[in-house]
Structure 1
Amino acid sequence: MSSMLRNSIVSLMLISFVLAACGAGASPAATSQAPAVVTDNLSVIAEGRLLPRQYVKLSFRAGGEVAELLAAEGDRVEADQVIARLKDEEQLQAQIAQADTELLNAGQALDELTRTADVARASAELAVANAKQGVWDAERNLKSVTYPKIEDYQKKLSDALDALTIAQNGDTVNVIGPTGAAIQGVQDSVETLRENLGNVQTAEQSCQNCDPKRLNTAQDNLNGALNSLTTLELQQQNAALQQAQAIRDAEDAVEKAQDHLEAAMQGPNDRELGIAAAKLKVAQATLDDAKKQLDKVKDGPDVDKLAAARARLSTAEASLAAAREAASRLELHAPFAGTITTLGLKVGEQVSPGAPIVTLADFSGWVVETDNLTEIDVVKIKQGQGATTVLDALPDVKLRGNVTSIASQFEEKRGDITYTVKIELTDADPLMRWGMTAEVTFEK
């Protein structure tokens, strides 16, 4: 018990004796009222201890060798600042970078799968349309093989014969090649220009003052006509070759049309029916597969691919979280801004997980904690109630504050039931130190 608390108790006892003596000769009514007034005016007084606003003992979550100290005892640190670091942190940072890259790649793959969903759906729809067309074509082919229309084959043969007649008559040459009259006209021009060139040459031999350009002009004109004639002749030859090819193609078409007509007149054969039926089965299977593919992508990305992409992303997220968690276990962080009051670490030391090695305190405010309020006294205290604190080391300094918490759990001390009460001080003094004893007077 502090000296100040003992003095207060002695003072209260003296006051009680004086009041009792003064009331000895009074009336019964006066005797019953005086003690009640004194009791109401008495304040609850308790001993306490000065504490920082908050403090904590820190420990690593993993064991290992101390690689780096980033703060010293007495240093002020900010919230989440690294105080110390164990070995292997660089290796874990590399794992974090690798996991981060994989997470980025997995996210991009999922985004790409989502972005290409529309393209995949359109491609699948086109595949279904093409497959349907294939089925229709195969059905028509099977029907034509099973029930051939003789008149259709007869018309195809007639058309092929007409095409052969046109090819044999030289219509192709007339369309794509020069006519004989055009070639004859150019040949006549060549003869005329050749004769003109001879005349100019004869005149040049007997004329000393003639213009020499006349001979060059005559020669150029003849050369141009000869080039034109050569071009027309080549065109005519090419047209003749094309006509010959057209005749051969037309003859082949006639032959095929005749074969098809003869086959149709003979009726379907097992080989052609088997081939046509097989083509229809293939076309139908292709359509079924195309529909299945469309079902997978019509509502978005392929279900299996989407599940795989999401699983990859989840795995990458979990790997990154695990790597970060492992790295965080090798670092000791300040949970709040404060001052390092003890630092039991050296570089190269081995530490065990959970062993307290650093004490961090927040001296931005002060709290007085008293744990000796009995069950008789605690009922007179309420949260928010004002209190005055006097430190034993600073008896002339009165520090005001307010009750911030009253413990719900009791403790039994020396046969008394006691409760812990905390008072947050609104006043401060530069000489205040953690752990100082104090006397707290709770206001009425």
Structure 2
Amino acid sequence: MKWKAIGILCLTLLSLTLAGCRRPELPVKPTPTAAPAALTSGAQTTGCIVAEGRVSPARSAALSFATGGIVTQVSVALGQQVTAGQVLARLDTSLLELQAAQAEARVAEAQARLNQFNLGPSEQEAAAARQNVASAQATYDRLLAGPDAAEIAAARAALAAAQQNEARVRSGPSADELAILKALAANAKAAVDQAQAAYDQVRSNPNIAMLPQSVALQQATNNYNAAAAAYAAAAGHPTAWKLAAAAAQVQASQAALDRLTPDAAQVQAALAAVETAKAQLAKLQPSADDRAVLEAGLKVARAGRDLAAGQLKTAALTAPFAGTVMRLDLDPGEYAAPGAPVLLLADTSAWQVETTDLTELNVIQVGEGAAVRLTFEAIPGLELSGHVSMIKPYGESRQGDIVYPVSVTLDRQDPRLRWNMTVKVRIESR
């Protein structure tokens, strides 16, 4: 009894399928046949391919932020309708704003350098650079030419005098010189005593300051002080500062003589100074290469500014088209990783169906534009028509079979359709 019921059910399904997929034929005399098996997905009947499918929106997008950051604003809710260009969420932009400001400053700096280059050097700068070249060149020429005999003789004489003075300072005064200085100091002291005695005789005179005795005492005192100081200086000779002064004089005289007789290193240094001065002068003259470098720097700075501005814009997640928020994985305060989907947007105004199990054996019998009839497991009694709008050229492996998804555009929409509803798809074969 059980197998009889199954056979009756199979005959019923087959008759319904053939009625929808086959063109009407002339009646013929029936002949006894074995009961057919029930239709399965991927089966082929006369003029018809049967496959499984799912409902999907004609347009959908998994949205993500191009840059990572902390979410500061979520402007939509699950199931909400949005318009194209509407801001859906935002990231914290404080760091991006700082980077944009820095990039803008770099553009201003590069532009200022190019402007300064275009203006060229001032007359004062050019004159100073030319003077440096002339001075360096004169020094180099003088070193090459060398000094004349008179200059060398004078420099050598000055060095000899300085060396003799240093030797005299180091040796100090002789015993005879000290004796003479001591005697001069003693004589000066005796003169003071004599003048003092004469002064004391007229001390009571009210006009003493006007008398010659007063003047004589003052002169004698001054002479004694000078003689005593000279003797003291000679007796304490040489002092450290006198030795240092004498040595410095020798060094200065030697340096002056050396400058008159330069060696190879001095000549090379003078030549290097000439080249440096000429290079500095050349830098003041605008060149095409220098201009190209500055212009390239400005382009790089502008590109950096545009990049920073673009990154700032990517901190706002916007809807690429009008649709419905189907999934929302985003909350304020969370970190959104770059490229990680956070919102699923779909245009639910137009549904389509995509097959899931049409194998390579059957897809070759399906062409774009072929008529399609659709029935829905979740909506009994609903049957829609459509046509094949696209056959994906790349096959995918599924449970050991290679399947080719086929997209079906509906001739009319039904408000009861939902994403991923299962569909029985009957496609008119070639």
TM score, norm. by length of structure 2: 0.49
Higher helix share: 1
TM score, norm. by length of structure 1: 0.48
